[in-house]
Structure 1
Amino acid sequence: MTVHDTSAPSPAPIADVRPVVRSHHGDDVEDRYEWFRAKEDAAVIAHLEAENAYTQERTAHLEGLRARIFDEIKGRTLETDLSVPARRGDWWYYGRTLEGKQYGIQCRAPLASPDDWTPPELSADIEVPGEQVLLDGNVEAQGHEFFSLGSFEITTDGTQMLYGVDVAGDERYTVRVRNLVTGEQLPDVIPDTFAGATFSPDGRFIVYTTVDDAWRPDTVWLHELGTSVDSDAKLFHEPDERFWVGAGFTRSDRYLVIGLGSSITSEEWLLDADDLRGAPRVVWPRVEGVEYDSEHAVIDGEDVLFILHNHDALDFELVRVAASAPSGERAVVIAHRPGERLLGVSTFRDWGVVGYRRGGLARLGMLDYGNGEVSEIEFDEPLYSVGTGGNPEWAPPLLRLGYGSFVTPGTVFDLDVATRELLLRKRQPVLGGYDADDYAQARVWAHAQDGTQIPISLVWKRSFGDAGVSPRALHLYGYGSYEHSIEPGFSVARLSELDRGVVFAVAHVRGGGEMGRQWYEDGKLLSKRNTFTDFVDCALHLIDNGYTAPDRLVAEGGSAGGLLMGAVANLAPELFAGVLADVPFVDALTTILDPSLPLTVIEWDEWGDPLHNAEVYAYMKSYSPYENVRMDASYPRILAVTSLNDTRVLYVEPAKWVARLREVGADALLKCEMVAGHGGVSGRYNAWRERAFELAWLLDVLGVADA
């Protein structure tokens, strides 16, 4: 049953009104709460703290439920555990978690022999011969409320380690270096880097990236170990504010690849790994709207590049070119197939792996260099997610895969490339007697307003009956931006919902990538409203077909999915009992109008440029949640969760949104983490508590919160 607090609650925080006028394209808009943006203003911090206190008071009756859900997550998790070792050089590398510890521990153990390709079966209770602890996150996090590891790399010879740490949540990492033979901390310290610093193959250099004032990674640097950071060489700088820059070495160690990407255009530059101070050379000069990425291989003694691109190929094609002349003759390896989106290629010495989407699911196939044929790796479940991972070696006989579904916990396979046998290495333990057969998953299709069929994935516990037989409490999740697909993945925390009879569903709306590149194109820029109406149509389908009812339906989305939440709350508030918005992008127009804010210019390819285009301005103004809060609507209960140090979606957006919702009488709560970033709190126990807080609120709204 639902437990309600019968005492009279304190009044909700009412923010001061300090109007400022925004003027663009002849349109004047009074913004009453833009002053929240002044993060250094004591009044802003006081308001956020008052919001936190109010949210805590309003949810105090759920404290017991939060504790039970946390205990359930904890009780189902094997707290002391090890990952499956991955081979690199002369070592097996793996991670440990220990009961009671927030952060992972990075370890390694020596190979039994050079021919040893079968990872050791490690046990948390048995000492691993020759084990070395490389980095203990719990030690590094001491004295800090937040800890995040953004770079972690070992030299090819295994003698030195770099690691990049963020202790504020602002995604600025300080890189340090440790000698793994002596344990000595080297004097090399590189502050304010972006994630992903890496050693050169010979171990002499560190390649890293820094960001500009808008938090855009824009410059690639070369640091020689033992020298001052002040003398680091600038390898590449990208002045165009639409492009992010990154760098990494090919698996073959032959090249450093410097990659640039906006939402719609990409470009790559190559440097020989043995001449990093040389001049980089472009793979293909950038062409607006053309995306590509390359992978190096050696075929019949020739250096070649496999290039995946979308030039005159909406869902991409794969070609092969000579690495010495990448703009020269192209041999088509996989031709463009409309509706079957090629996602990527990974190359190894003797074969490749191709990722693609078909029928709304990600798939993998082995690429034969000799004839260009792709043989798909098949799995039994109707819904699943699969990808490669942990494959640093250039010439392995095995391919490491990660697999899972809504009902199958995360699974690690090694594929024997010669025999095509899948070797089960580990399945995520779920304690407490979990049985996958107790749960069911399915896909149904909703009809959008324009006739498009929208896939909906569902998972539920069988003991409560089949989904769709009678209206049930239902949790509907959505995202729908950046061509990001929501995969059918397992969640321990989700079991706390399913075991209380809740059906979990994902609306795979346009703007995501589930159904190919056109699916994305039809949910961005001046077609963005399709994302929102698709979600509403999915909700209507679930209601009309007996899966749920409006008073038993809660919607959730985060970041750009939080924009979706704000938009559907305005479009169809009557369909939902509650809306959970994590780090929500709900003041989208204000943000995208200001090129001085982090990431804004980059985002123009996704949303449009309202600063210079009146049509885009009017279109974004028509859906931006903060600007469209309705006086005539009866809103569902709303919980917005944000973080003070988030650099991607600033805390000011949900803070303003909640204040505006309060003006129209909405029951809206704001929870702001005061030491965290876009990903929320750090540490697994803190993350479990955060999710328990959200799920307790959600279950309370659904009316299935237990006593």
Structure 2
Amino acid sequence: MPTGPDAPVEHIILDENVKAEGHDYYSIGAFKVSPNNKLVAYAEDTKGDEIYTVYVIDSASGQYVGQPLKGITSDIEWAGDDHLVYITMDSILRPDKVWLHKLGSDQSSDACLYHEKDDTFSLGLQASESKKYLFVGSGSKNTSFIFYLDTSKQNKELAVLTPRVYGIDTTASHRGNHFFITRRSDEFYNSELVACPLDNVAETTVLLPHRESVKIQDIQLFDNHIAVYERENGLPKVTVYRLPAIGETIGQLQGGRTIDFIDPTYAVDPEESQFHSTVLRFHYSSMRTPPSVYDYDMDSGESVLKKIKPVLGGYDASNYVTERKWAAAADGTQIPMSILYRKDLVKLDGSDPLLLYGYGSYEICIDPSFRGSRFSLVDRGFIYVIAHIRGGGEMGRKWYEDGKLLKKKNTFTDFVDCAEHLIQNKYCSKEKLCVNGRSAGGLLMGAVLNMRPDLFKAAVAGVPFVDVVTTMLDPTIPLTTAEWEEWGDPRKEEYYYYMKSYSPVDNVAAQEYPNILVTAGLNGRCPLDLHLKKTLVGC
């Protein structure tokens, strides 16, 4: 930041600490600046139930503009300088309606742009990097389709970008005179990238074809470049391509440059970047590398470290070891594991204590990012391991499909096989093995404790989903209907008996269990999968 007498004076737009005073719980779920930079819309939750109230303030004076919008999700976007688009939920907390609000008007007069009536689908909202279009997506676990809204037009209506076709899943963005679309189906299960002209969305050109070993996870568009976030062999990668000038013919992408990363296992995610820039900003960390922000020059290929999060207490990354190992599942599948330990404390002779973490649901990737809280254990000699089991998305779409519905038990047996591999290779012993999982990972805990209580010393289950059959039988419970494509619909006999065969509360037996800690919450709900691009959330 510039300094000196002519330097700009820092101006606080919103102080979350001040806003939180008097509340037992307080969270800002969205903070969106209007296109002219004069107004800010922010979403506030004071209960922890993820039902938000949105306020609009003048960014200069801090004064409120109009009346707040109540009972909505944190999905809000500006549609010009005087309109907001937002989403509300139905009685089971499913995002089902998208609305257009004109500043200064009453919320009761807002126009409903779309109502999703299928209770297995949920809505999501996203602005393009160019800020010229908003995308409204409706998605289930297997299918999604997209509407778009041109923010520059006075007549703000949704138009269809990708049609609703069962089994086809799409995400979208915009640059110049093209929409860029990733789409997945049974045929191209790891996704392909296509472009279509704004005036003929049915005419698509393949930019990146489907590849069996590479999964397209996200894209980030710029004036002259596209950054493609992918996964290969279980690891994230970022490949940057130069795009032809706007108006020129666009074809299959060639000559991409892949960014190099330093750790054997790591996490990399997009950061907000300037659309008109040649600099890609990304977030990087590993289990031993603190959160770091890099600027990558897409023309020169050079990365510059802009910021690294300080870690108190004399932290030195060179004291720690990160490894990537593979465990063989019973069917021969190789399961990747990410491992962290302090090299001057761990003996690797079977006597070390170990904490094994797992999730394995919703195609969520549990990448080995940095967590300062782990070092409370690691600095006392614990080994920390993440098992990247089937049901997650680390190894591509089929990795997920092989751990859901009638293949869900692969998730549990993979975790057990990882535990046994660690014991056999002297990372720990049964007497020193602890396990941990949250939400769907809490289901994992319950299932493996029923299957192999002899294998673990202790287990921590956070907000565990353990009453699978009873929960899925009740469509009035929040989020249940959208889950049928993940676990199965137990109203159908085949799914009922399969789910009952692993549901933790239905399989408790008269056997000796390890020590178990279960935690829960009062008001929170767990939006395990809102499915749409950049809204995928894991608890």
1:13-28 counterparts in 2 under 5 A?
none
Provide the residue aligned with 1:264 in structure 2: 142
CA drift of 1:554 comes to 0.7
Provide the residue aligned with 2:178 in structure 1: 304
Distance in 2 (alpha carbons) for counterparts of 1:414 and 1:210: 36
1:295 aligns with 2:169: no
Deviations 1:482-516 (A, max 9, x none): 11111111111111111000000011100001111
Distance in 2 (alpha carbons) for counterparts of 1:130 and 1:524: 54
1:377 aligns with 2:252: no
Please say if residues 151 and 198 of structure 1, whose CA atoms lie closer than 8 Å, have aligned partners that are also in contact: no
CA drift of 1:186 comes to 2.0
Deviations 1:537-558 (A, max 9, x none): 1111111111111110110000
Provide the residue aligned with 2:508 in structure 1: 629
Provide the residue aligned with 1:575 in structure 2: 455
1:432 aligns with 2:310: no
CA drift of 1:134 comes to 1.1
Provide the residue aligned with 2:117 in structure 1: 239
Q: CA RMSD in A?
A: 1.9
1:162 aligns with 2:162: no
Provide the residue aligned with 1:496 in structure 2: 376
User: Is there any run of 5+ residues in structure 1 with no aligned partner, and where?
Assistant: 1-119, 651-677, 681-707
Provide the residue aligned with 2:284 in structure 1: 403
Distance in 1 (alpha carbons) for counterparts of 2:326 and 2:102: 55
CA drift of 1:647 comes to 2.4
Please say if residues 224 and 278 of structure 2, whose CA atoms lie closer than 8 Å, have aligned partners that are also in contact: no
Please say if residues 349 and 428 of structure 2, whose CA atoms lie closer than 8 Å, have aligned partners that are also in contact: no
Deviations 1:43-91 (A, max 9, x none): xxxxxxxxxxxxxxxxxxxxxxxxxxxxxxxxxxxxxxxxxxxxxxxxx
CA gap of 1:138–1:127, structure 2 versus 1, over 3 A, is: farther
Distance in 2 (alpha carbons) for counterparts of 1:629 and 1:127: 70
CA drift of 1:244 comes to 1.0
Provide the residue aligned with 1:386 in structure 2: 268
1:10-89 counterparts in 2 under 5 A?
none
Provide the residue aligned with 2:532 in structure 1: none
Deviations 1:235-270 (A, max 9, x none): 111111111102222121221211111111000011
Distance in 2 (alpha carbons) for counterparts of 1:129 and 1:501: 49
Distance in 1 (alpha carbons) for counterparts of 2:288 and 2:116: 44
Q: Percent identity?
A: 42
CA drift of 1:648 comes to 3.0
1:655-694 counterparts in 2 under 5 A?
none
1:460 aligns with 2:338: no
Provide the residue aligned with 2:331 in structure 1: 450
CA drift of 1:294 comes to 1.3
CA gap of 1:455–1:207, structure 2 versus 1, over 3 A, is: same
Which structure: greater helix fraction?
Answer: 1
Distance in 1 (alpha carbons) for counterparts of 2:191 and 2:180: 13
Please say if residues 215 and 647 of structure 1, whose CA atoms lie closer than 8 Å, have aligned partners that are also in contact: no
Provide the residue aligned with 1:338 in structure 2: 212
Q: Read off the aligned partner of 1:380 and give its amino acid letter.
A: I
Please say if residues 219 and 235 of structure 1, whose CA atoms lie closer than 8 Å, have aligned partners that are also in contact: yes
Aligned partner of 1:366 among 237, 240, 243 = 240
Provide the residue aligned with 2:521 in structure 1: 643
Please say if residues 224 and 243 of structure 2, whose CA atoms lie closer than 8 Å, have aligned partners that are also in contact: yes
1:145-294 counterparts in 2 under 5 A?
145-200=24-79, 202-275=80-153, 277-294=155-172
1:470-619 counterparts in 2 under 5 A?
470-611=350-491, 613-619=492-498
Distance in 2 (alpha carbons) for counterparts of 1:308 and 1:294: 6
CA gap of 1:121–1:129, structure 2 versus 1, over 3 A, is: closer
Q: Read off the aligned partner of 2:385 and give its amino acid letter.
A: A
CA drift of 1:181 comes to 2.4
Deviations 1:135-183 (A, max 9, x none): 1111111111011111211112221111111111111001111112232
Which 10-residue stretch deviates more, 504-513 or 368-377?
Answer: 368-377
TM-score, normalised via structure 1 length: 0.72
CA drift of 1:128 comes to 7.7
CA gap of 1:409–1:276, structure 2 versus 1, over 3 A, is: farther
Distance in 2 (alpha carbons) for counterparts of 1:401 and 1:240: 36
SS at match of 2:62: coil
CA drift of 1:277 comes to 4.0
1:111-122 counterparts in 2 under 5 A?
120=1
Deviations 1:98-142 (A, max 9, x none): xxxxxxxxxxxxxxxxxxxxxx389xxx99841111111111111
Higher RCO (CA 8 Å, separation ≥ 6 residues): 1
1:417-428 counterparts in 2 under 5 A?
417-428=298-309
CA gap of 1:475–1:230, structure 2 versus 1, over 3 A, is: same
Q: Read off the aligned partner of 2:128 and give its amino acid letter.
A: T
Please say if residues 346 and 352 of structure 2, whose CA atoms lie closer than 8 Å, have aligned partners that are also in contact: no
Q: Read off the aligned partner of 2:188 and give its amino acid letter.
A: A
SS at match of 1:551: helix
Q: Read off the aligned partner of 2:297 and give its amino acid letter.
A: D
Q: Read off the aligned partner of 1:462 and give its amino acid letter.
A: K
* Greater radius of gyration (CA): 1
User: Is there any run of 5+ residues in structure 2 with no aligned partner, and where?
Assistant: 245-251, 529-536
Q: Read off the aligned partner of 1:547 and give its amino acid letter.
A: Y
Provide the residue aligned with 2:534 in structure 1: none
Please say if residues 527 and 538 of structure 2, whose CA atoms lie closer than 8 Å, have aligned partners that are also in contact: no
SS at match of 1:561: helix
CA drift of 1:346 comes to 1.4
Distance in 2 (alpha carbons) for counterparts of 1:649 and 1:182: 35
Distance in 1 (alpha carbons) for counterparts of 2:408 and 2:132: 42
Deviations 1:677-697 (A, max 9, x none): x999xxxxxxxxxxxxxxxxx
Please say if residues 50 and 73 of structure 2, whose CA atoms lie closer than 8 Å, have aligned partners that are also in contact: yes
Please say if residues 364 and 387 of structure 1, whose CA atoms lie closer than 8 Å, have aligned partners that are also in contact: no
Please say if residues 598 and 648 of structure 1, whose CA atoms lie closer than 8 Å, have aligned partners that are also in contact: no
Residue correspondences, number: 521
CA drift of 1:380 comes to 2.1
Distance in 1 (alpha carbons) for counterparts of 2:99 and 2:260: 42
CA drift of 1:646 comes to 2.4
Distance in 2 (alpha carbons) for counterparts of 1:454 and 1:533: 11
Distance in 1 (alpha carbons) for counterparts of 2:448 and 2:7: 53
CA drift of 1:336 comes to 1.0
